[in-house]
A and B are shown apart, each in its own frame.
Chain A
């Protein structure tokens, strides 16, 4: 087949609406387009005029899968305007809430969205017929992540307790202690998950990525750190827009991000892992060694192993936080920003989520900019697709289409999140 078009009109097992089109001409890949036709929802526009305290509740609605990421980036940005850093037990509880979101989101992706591709199933329910123990384990892990979010956030989709300055209500020692047995089970289950996913069949496909993630002096990153890359970036949040830019391309309602005067980059579990391996716990590092990906992993397909390692990390971190918890006297600190500009960037399960706000003297938002992880990964996904298709031109149409879908799902793209995103067309002329 010299010329052909691969078309996927509606990508499945991703969050949101997108499609994919690959054009092949004279055995060369002419064009790759990740089409994001998620309708625009205009968050950055209608945030103007809203009170700064409303930003965490409103921006949470950008994404039902990772609302905590939005609430955290927005809250940190507002606290940045006020020149405040929230420490102590409130900071720890924010990390704990994030652990819940990582567990829920990673378990969903590893077991229900990603694993079926490796084993040739169209979904996890089909997979459950032959892998019932794994699917049940995945569902239970997900449930424990959601339970942690229910407790800290009031509910798992669009939590209501987080606010600028902290929480409306914080849990008691006893309420957290009640989670410990489940989290211990989840830690063991995550370790089993790492072992299981590392036996999946992986193609020989590695890319020399530019990884971009947060880096913190002491911790594996959730809420704070500098933005760093393996190719020379090391900046405070306030310089994000100087180094990275977004471009509006015709085939997508998501904006495409890349390095200024440079190429695409990758955010998410692979980036965090490669840039922060030394911040992982000994248990996670040992599991990584046994899985054969210690320190570095450049295989996008093996992101399923990295996600499982992060699941393990999130369970251990949650247990550590609960163990050391002392209930704060007040669930939040009063934050009263004056007019100014602030930045927030936190590690959503899919990668860094950047927020920048300007507010006036009355606390009203005058300008907002939100750069979600999936719009940052969009160009890298297209680049991966191009590399893969170029090396597999002789593959049967149907198989190639499925493999292309899998390349997209490697990124756990959250298209709804991109506000501004996906449809597969492989076109051989």
Chain B
């Protein structure tokens, strides 16, 4: 197909580890087919070629942590017909949102000898706090299958088929015995959105919620169960403050046990 007739895709990066955009390059079997149907117009991790906007679809990785990035996301929104955020950093602020609970000046002085060279915001926040987002794809990292589903859905103007139920459903489908019941392992699966394929329980460990809270989670009930299993308040705070610490319900739950 002629490049001029193909929809234009752009991939943008903010504060992140690059793992979610790598997921696109990890579509080894699909990549050449994708490039046949879509014009990869802006994707610096993969190409030095730059095609000017506007773009039909923008994938945005990473969180907003600097004054410059706060401005940059506005321009990207203006240039994008659809804007989809990919990964825990973009959808909830990511692991770097742990700064939101501390004094960022102190953080800067721990890492950098000359803090005055560093320009940064006090918080790490999701993209949707700054601009309108058309769809949020969860995960730390995102799932390859879900990424392909979302890109397809937006190109064909249909709703993406991404479930919002919990990891528990995936364990049941996979036939994995519950690690809380059978091994006494604390597991965040009951409050975590599915999508990873419930890999942690399959590998004999509790879920640590890299996909963030499911729709209508009941953290308090799960926290009480964790306490019965020997968790202290500090353990609970740490459990909710990992890769989705800034997502609303996890933040509230960690703050409750901090007091």
Beyond A50-B238, A122-B47, is A40–B111 a contact (Cβ under 8 Å)?
Answer: yes
A46 contact set on B, CB distance < 8 A: 95-96, 98-99, 102, 107
Is B96 touching A64 in the complex (CB atoms < 8 A)? Answer: no
B19 contact set on A, CB distance < 8 A: 61, 63-65, 67, 157-158
**Does B199 make an interface contact (CB < 8 A)?**
yes
Is A139 touching B23 in the complex (CB atoms < 8 A)? Answer: no
Beyond A17-B13, A67-B19, A168-B204, is A61–B243 a contact (Cβ under 8 Å)?
Answer: yes
Closest to B104 in A: A42
Jot down 10 A-B pairs with beta carbons below 8 A, ordered by A: A13-B47, A15-B22, A39-B66, A54-B242, A62-B17, A64-B19, A157-B19, A157-B141, A161-B203, A416-B16
Is A45 touching B203 in the complex (CB atoms < 8 A)? Answer: no
Is B203 touching A122 in the complex (CB atoms < 8 A)? Answer: no
Stretch at the interface among A245-253, A292-300, A344-352, A377-385: A245-253
Stretch at the interface among B52-60, B114-122, B151-159, B215-223: B114-122
Residues of chain A whose beta carbon lies under 8 Å from any beta carbon of chain B: 10-17, 38-46, 48, 50-51, 54, 57-58, 61-65, 67, 108, 112-113, 122-126, 128, 135-136, 139-140, 142-143, 146, 154-158, 160-161, 163, 167-169, 247-250, 253, 255, 331, 402, 405, 414, 416-417, 419-420
**Does B210 make an interface contact (CB < 8 A)?**
yes
Q: How many A-B residue pairs have CB under 8 A?
A: 183
In the complex, chain B residues 95-148 whose Cβ is within 8 Å of any chain A Cβ: 95-96, 98-99, 102, 104, 106-108, 110-114, 117-118, 120, 140-141
Is A160 touching B46 in the complex (CB atoms < 8 A)? Answer: no
Closest 10 CB pairs of A and B: A64-B19, A123-B47, A45-B107, A12-B48, A46-B98, A157-B141, A143-B28, A122-B49, A248-B113, A12-B44
Stretch at the interface among B29-37, B77-85, B186-194, B247-255: B29-37
Q: Which of A57, A125, A414, A416 contacts B40 (CB 8 A)?
A: A125
- Of A45, A122, A161, A420, chain B has the most CB atoms within 10 Å of the CB of A45
Closest chain-A Cβ to B90's Cβ sits at a distance in Å of 13
Distance in angstroms between the alpha carbons of A157 and B46 in the assembled complex: 17
Q: Which of B21, B28, B202 contacts A139 (CB 8 A)?
A: B28
A253 contact set on B, CB distance < 8 A: 118
Q: What size tier do the contact residues of chain B reach? A: 35 or more
**Does B208 make an interface contact (CB < 8 A)?**
yes
Q: Which of B49, B111, B200 contacts A123 (CB 8 A)?
A: B49
Residues of chain B whose beta carbon lies under 8 Å from any beta carbon of chain A: 13-23, 25-26, 28-29, 31-32, 35, 40, 44-49, 65-66, 69, 94-96, 98-99, 102, 104, 106-108, 110-114, 117-118, 120, 140-141, 196, 199-200, 202-205, 208, 210, 238, 242-243
A249 contact set on B, CB distance < 8 A: 117
Closest chain-B Cβ to A85's Cβ sits at a distance in Å of 24
Q: Which of A17, A57, A142, A168 contacts B28 (CB 8 A)?
A: A142
Is B96 touching A42 in the complex (CB atoms < 8 A)? Answer: yes
Is B96 touching A112 in the complex (CB atoms < 8 A)? Answer: no
A126 contact set on B, CB distance < 8 A: 47, 49
Distance in angstroms between the alpha carbons of A204 and B210 in the assembled complex: 48
